[in-house]
């Protein structure tokens, strides 16, 4: 269905302002029934963070910010969906326009600024899913005007922990002033300690993952991984959007917009950081590799760099949902070629070379 939607709708969607196009996509998905997805090849099954994923491909945060269509996305064949970012109180985000296409670069710049309907509403929506199958993670971030950001993360765990397959602690969105400073070791340690403590007080005790920016230095990464390992979180997500503007960008006028850059130009940097993270984590927890996946083979490269699961957003805008089946085929063919029984055999097999 979405293949069809992709092929027919792209010219229509690309004639619209990006935010309107996105809202129309969400409305269209909402009108579709959430069917049971077709069964994946068993070799694609992945165990991570104590969860069992039917396949390793997920929708990255930001696509379904307000938990409107998680089940429709799962029925399109994704192995998991990360909804959000969700903030404690509702907030409007930045004024429009706040999303820009860099078409010739297969990229997007966004400065939404964590627009959110707020944790209580998202909790209601997730609770309404009841006992439906499917992994739905929740990306959490503080309100822009929060006086105590650590307290905001704690409130989010309390409000949403019961309804989340996993929680993704977002300290990496570039559009909330000062948010990325929370990646600094001392404050990060406090956040993770308090988040884990709040998680332990929930009934569900969802796994906690940390989502980082691609712009951290390797010295920052040493600190981040040290803190993550010390606090025994269940995983990390590498990476969010970048504030960098590679000089290879063709859409140089649009590239001047403020915000986070995603899509194709992010692939190399985010994959390198993923491999660097994998080498530092030494198998203590699994990683989700996100950033610039626009071709089926990119998913394989992320796994070889150290990702147990992958995620994408911008690639879906340019390539449509057909990319998901393509990625599954590419992964299966790499498993066959390498003689691996499952995805785990491929994880990190090229980490050293991709870290360079």
Show which residues are catalytic: 173
Query: 242 pairs with which residues across the strands?
Result: 261
Q: Is the distance from CB of 109 to CB of 255 less than 8 angstroms?
A: yes
170 counts as binding ligand FMN under rule CB under 6 A:
yes
CA-to-CA dists, residue 307 to 46, 50, 56, 288, angstroms: 11, 16, 9, 5
CA-to-CA dists, residue 225 to 218, 264, 282, 290, angstroms: 10, 26, 10, 17
Site map for ligand FMN, 38-77, x if CB under 6 A? ----------------------xxx--x------------
139 counts as binding ligand FMN under rule CB under 6 A:
yes
Kindly tell me which residue out of 2, 269, 275, 290 binds ligand FMN, with binding defined by CB under 6 A: 290
Kindly tell me which residue out of 110, 143, 176, 276 binds ligand FMN, with binding defined by CB under 6 A: 110
Kindly tell me which residue out of 188, 266, 300, 354 binds ligand FMN, with binding defined by CB under 6 A: 266
Q: Is the distance from CB of 56 to CB of 289 less than 8 angstroms?
A: no
Helical (H) or strand (E) element with 200: helix 185-200
Total residues interacting with ligand FMN, rule: CB under 6 A? 28
To ligand FMN, the closest distance from the beta carbon of 259 in angstroms equals: 9
Backbone angles phi, psi at 80, to 5 degrees: -165, 165
113 counts as binding ligand FMN under rule CB under 6 A:
no
Spatial CB neighbours of 30, under 8 Å, sequence gap ≥ 6: 68, 69, 72
Segment near ligand FMN (CB under 6 A), from 157-165, 190-198, 228-236, 262-270? 262-270
Segment near ligand FMN (CB under 6 A), from 50-58, 148-156, 186-194, 258-266? 258-266
* Closer residue to ligand FMN (CB): 103 or 133: 103
Give the span between the Cα atoms of 191 and 182, in whole angstroms: 8
291 counts as binding ligand FMN under rule CB under 6 A:
yes
263 counts as binding ligand FMN under rule CB under 6 A:
yes
292 counts as binding ligand FMN under rule CB under 6 A:
yes
Give the span between the Cα atoms of 57 and 261, in whole angstroms: 21
- Would you tell me how many other CB atoms lie within 10 Å of the CB of residue 99? 20
Give the span between the Cα atoms of 19 and 100, in whole angstroms: 9
Kindly tell me which residue out of 72, 91, 106, 241 binds ligand FMN, with binding defined by CB under 6 A: 241
To ligand FMN, the closest distance from the beta carbon of 254 in angstroms equals: 14
* Closer residue to ligand FMN (CB): 48 or 290: 290
Segment near ligand FMN (CB under 6 A), from 107-115, 193-201, 271-279, 325-333? 107-115
Segment near ligand FMN (CB under 6 A), from 2-10, 118-126, 297-305, 306-314? 306-314
Give the span between the Cα atoms of 6 and 62, in whole angstroms: 19
To ligand FMN, the closest distance from the beta carbon of 76 in angstroms equals: 16
Helical (H) or strand (E) element with 228: helix 218-230
Kindly tell me which residue out of 37, 70, 85, 306 binds ligand FMN, with binding defined by CB under 6 A: 85
To ligand FMN, the closest distance from the beta carbon of 336 in angstroms equals: 26
Backbone angles phi, psi at 196, to 5 degrees: -65, -40
- Would you tell me how many other CB atoms lie within 10 Å of the CB of residue 4? 11
Give the span between the Cα atoms of 122 and 109, in whole angstroms: 25
Q: Is the distance from CB of 64 to CB of 120 less than 8 angstroms?
A: no
191 counts as binding ligand FMN under rule CB under 6 A:
no
Structure tokens at 197: 């403590």
Segment near ligand FMN (CB under 6 A), from 2-10, 23-31, 69-77, 105-113? 105-113
142 counts as binding ligand FMN under rule CB under 6 A:
no
Three-state DSSP class for residue 37 = coil
Q: Return residues touching ligand FMN (CB under 6 A).
A: 60-62, 65, 84-85, 99, 108, 110, 112, 114, 139, 170, 173, 211, 240-241, 262-263, 266, 290-293, 312-315
């Amino acid at each position: 269905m979405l293949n069809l939607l992709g092929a027919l709708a792209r010219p229509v969607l690309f004639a619209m302002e990006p935010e309107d196009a996105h809202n129309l996509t969400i409305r269209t998905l909402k009108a579709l029934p959430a069917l049971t997805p077709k069964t994946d090849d068993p070799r694609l099954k992945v165990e991570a963070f104590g969860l069992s994923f039917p396949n390793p491909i997920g929708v990255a945060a930001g696509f379904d910010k307000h938990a409107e269509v998680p089940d429709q996305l799962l029925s399109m064949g994704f192995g998991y969906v990360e909804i959000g970012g969700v903030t404690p109180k509702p907030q409007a985000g930045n004024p429009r326009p706040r999303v820009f296409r860099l078409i010739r670069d297969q990229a997007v710049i966004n400065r939404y600024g964590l627009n959110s309907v707020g944790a209580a509403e998202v909790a209601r929506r997730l609770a309404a899913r009841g006992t439906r199958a499917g992994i739905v993670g929740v990306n959490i971030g503080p309100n822009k005007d929060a006086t105590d950001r650590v307290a905001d993360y704690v409130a989010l765990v309390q409000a949403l922990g019961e309804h989340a397959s996993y929680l993704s602690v977002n300290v990496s969105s570039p559009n909330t002033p000062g948010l990325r400073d929370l990646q600094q070791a001392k404050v990060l340690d406090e956040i993770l300690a308090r988040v884990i403590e709040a998680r332990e007080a929930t009934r569900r005790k969802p796994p906690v993952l940390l989502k980082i920016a691609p712009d951290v230095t390797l010295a920052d990464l040493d600190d981040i991984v040290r803190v993550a390992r010390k606090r025994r979180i269940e995983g990390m997500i590498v990476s969010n959007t970048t504030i960098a503007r590679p000089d290879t960008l063709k859409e140089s006028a649009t590239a001047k917009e403020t915000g986070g850059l995603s899509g194709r130009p992010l692939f190399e940097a985010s994959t390198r950081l993923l491999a660097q993270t994998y080498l530092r984590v030494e198998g203590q927890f699994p990683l989700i590799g996100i950033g610039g996946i626009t071709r089926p083979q990119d998913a394989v490269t992320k796994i070889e760099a150290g990702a147990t699961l992958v995620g994408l957003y911008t690639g879906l805008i340019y390539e449509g949902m057909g990319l998901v089946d393509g990625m599954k085929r590419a992964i299966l063919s790499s498993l066959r070629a390498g003689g691996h029984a499952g995805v785990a055999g491929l994880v990190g097999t090229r980490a050293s070379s991709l870290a360079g």
